[in-house]
Amino acid sequence: MKIRITLLLAIIFTVALNGQQRKTIDPVISAMHTISSHDLLEWVAIQCDDKYAGRLTGTPEYQACAEWLASMFEGWGLTPAGDNGTWFQWFDIPYTLVYHDCGVSLHLSAGKNGSVIKDYKYVTEYMPGSTSGNGEVTAEVVYAGYGITAPELGYDDYAGIDVRGKIILIEPEAPVSPNAGAEKFTPWYHHSFHQTKLLNAVKHGAAGMLYNYGPIANPNNAWDGNFIYVHAGNAVTEDMFAGTGKDHQQVLASIREKLKPASFITGKKVTLKMSTQHFPDGRGSSIIGLLKGNDPELSKEVIIIGAHLDHMGRCYEIIPGANDNASAVAVMMGVAKALTENNIQLKRSVLFLAFGAEEQGIVGSKHYLENPYFPLNRSILLNMDGVGIGHSIGANAGLNYPELWKFVEEANDKYVHRPLNTNFFSNLGRPRLDAARFMTAGVPALSFYTSGSVNYYHVPGDNLDIIKPEIMEDMAKLLFLTVVNMGNYEGDIIK
C-alpha cells in the first residue's frame, strides 16, 4: 500500500511539474494557427470556377459569386451591413461581354497579285477591347500619338490629320507621366483616362482603334456601339511603324520631350473584328459583413478589411483572376473565419468589405465612400489586391501612415517572418486601387500585395497554376494579428 501511494504521489508530482513548465498558448496565436492554406486555396478555386464566369460586375455570374461570399459571411456569424440590412450595397454598372469570334489582321500587299493577310494572335499579340462595339472594320491606320485633344494646353494629336473612317493607333497615358509630380501631371490628368481618349476618337470620326495597351484585358473604358477597338501589343505596333522610316520609341520620346504631336498616316491597312454584347442596365454590388466591437466607445471606430471581388469576366475567353483578386478575397475570408470561429473579442469594429467593379473604374469603393457604414473619419482601410503569388509581402502607403504600419511590422517580426516592404504612396492623382480612393477621401489606408514569382495580369494565365497557397496563409496570419492588435489597442490608431 505504501509503495502504491508513493507511486501515485510521484505521478501526481510529475504531472503537476509538467503543467507548471508548459506555458499556455495565447488564444490569439492559437486562433491564428487555425488559418490554413488549404481553405484559402479552395476559396480561390471556387471563385475561379467557370460558373462565376470571371466575376464581371453587373453579370448574374458575378452576383452568384457575391451570394456565395455572403453565405460564408453568414455562416461565420457576421452581421450584414449593406443596403437595408442585406449583405449587398448596390450600384449601376453597365458592362460588355466579349465573345470568341474576334480578330486583328494586317493586309500586306503582295505586288500585282493583291494582298496577303497576317492574323495576329490572341493574348500574345492582341487582346480584344473589353468595352468594344460589335462588328468589323477594315481601314487605313493613322498613328495619333496619345489621342489627346487639349486646347487649354495647346496640344492636339488630331491637328491637321483626318481620321474619319480610319483606324487610329494611340498610346495609353499622357505625354507627361504621373511620376513627373502632381503639379506637372494634373493638367493632363483628365486626358490620360482611357474613357477620354476613346470618346475623343469617336468625336473625331475614327472607325476603330488599336490601343497600344497590353495586350491585356481591361473593362475600365467608355462604350460606343459603333466604335471597335482592340488592345494591341508590341508586335502589332511595330508592324504599323515598319517601312515608315520612323521608329516607334523615338517618336514617343520626341512627343514627350517637345510636348508636340507627331501624328502621321502609316500606309497600313488592318481589319478589326469584334464580337461583343453591351448591357447598359447592369447592376452590381459590394458585399459587406460586420463584426461589431465590444467597447462602447472604440466600437464606433472601424477597421475595414477590403478586397475587390470582381475581375475581367469574359474577354474572348473567361479570365479567372486567381491572383487578381480571388487570392485577396480568400485571405479576407480566412481572417473572418479565424476571428469568428475562435470567438476573438475586439474593442474596435471590423468591416469585411468585398468591393464590386474595381476593374470597371473603381466604382464599388467610390459608392461605399458616398454611403459609408461608419463615419469616414472613424475608419481605416487595410486593403489587398493580388496576394497569391511569390514570397514577399508589400504594402502601399506604410510610410504615409507609420502609426498603422508599426502594427504590421511588429506582427511580421514576431510571427510571420516574410520579406516585408512598404513605400510612400504619392500618386493619388490617378487612383487605380480601391485604397487610393479611400486615401483621397481622407481615410488612412494600406494596400497589400505579394510578389516574387511568375504573375499574369489581366490575361487568362492568371489562374490557379500561378497561386502560392503558403504566401496567402502568411498574408492572412499577418493581417489577422494586425487586426487583433489594432482592434484592441487602447491608444489612437486614427489620427
Q: Phi and psi for 62 in degrees, rounded to 5?
A: -60, -45
Instruction: Identify which range of 43-51, 181-189, 237-245, 321-329 contacts Zn ion by CB under 5 A.
Output: 321-329
Count the site residues for Zn ion by CB under 5 A: 3
Nearer of residues 173 and 324 to Zn ion, judged by Cβ: 324
Footprint (CB under 5 A) of Zn ion, residues 431-490: none
**What CA–CA distance (Å, rounded) separates 192 from 185?**
9
Binding mask 63-92 for Zn ion (x = CB under 5 A): ------------------------------
Shortest Å, Cβ 320 to Zn ion: 13
Distance of CA 100 to the CA centre of its chain: 24
Nearer of residues 337 and 458 to Zn ion, judged by Cβ: 458
Shortest Å, Cβ 308 to Zn ion: 6
Nearer of residues 145 and 386 to Zn ion, judged by Cβ: 386
Nearer of residues 171 and 310 to Zn ion, judged by Cβ: 310
Instruction: Identify which range of 169-177, 191-199, 204-212, 320-328 contacts Zn ion by CB under 5 A.
Output: 320-328
Shortest Å, Cβ 395 to Zn ion: 15
Any residues with CB less than 8 A from the CB of 262 and at least 6 apart, and which? 143, 145, 251, 254, 255
Shortest Å, Cβ 449 to Zn ion: 9
Nearer of residues 61 and 358 to Zn ion, judged by Cβ: 358
Class of residue 169 by CB neighbours under 10 A (exposed 0-12, middle 13-18, buried 19+):
buried
End-to-end CA gap in the chain: 71
Nearer of residues 324 and 473 to Zn ion, judged by Cβ: 324
Nearer of residues 385 and 474 to Zn ion, judged by Cβ: 385
Instruction: Identify which range of 209-217, 271-279, 323-331, 335-343 contacts Zn ion by CB under 5 A.
Output: 323-331
Shortest Å, Cβ 38 to Zn ion: 24
Any residues with CB less than 8 A from the CB of 420 and at least 6 apart, and which? 392, 393, 394, 395, 408, 409, 412
**What CA–CA distance (Å, rounded) separates 179 from 189?**
12
Nearer of residues 157 and 324 to Zn ion, judged by Cβ: 324
Q: Is 221 in the site for Zn ion (CB under 5 A)?
A: no
Shortest Å, Cβ 310 to Zn ion: 8
Q: For residues 322 and 64, is the Cβ–Cβ distance under 8 A?
A: no
Shortest Å, Cβ 358 to Zn ion: 6
Footprint (CB under 5 A) of Zn ion, residues 331-390: 385
Among 125, 239, 324, 473, binds Zn ion (CB under 5 A): 324
Shortest Å, Cβ 368 to Zn ion: 16
Shortest Å, Cβ 458 to Zn ion: 9
Q: Is 325 in the site for Zn ion (CB under 5 A)?
A: yes
Nearer of residues 325 and 360 to Zn ion, judged by Cβ: 325
Nearer of residues 103 and 321 to Zn ion, judged by Cβ: 321
Nearer of residues 133 and 394 to Zn ion, judged by Cβ: 394
Report CA-CA distances (Å) from 277 to 61, 99, 225, 274, 352.
Answer: 16, 8, 9, 10, 33
Which single residue brings its beta carbon nearest to Zn ion?
324
Any residues with CB less than 8 A from the CB of 114 and at least 6 apart, and which? none
Shortest Å, Cβ 307 to Zn ion: 9
Q: Phi and psi for 124 in degrees, rounded to 5?
A: -80, -30
Shortest Å, Cβ 237 to Zn ion: 26
Binding mask 387-406 for Zn ion (x = CB under 5 A): --------------------
Interacting residue ranges for Zn ion, rule: CB under 5 A: 324-325, 385
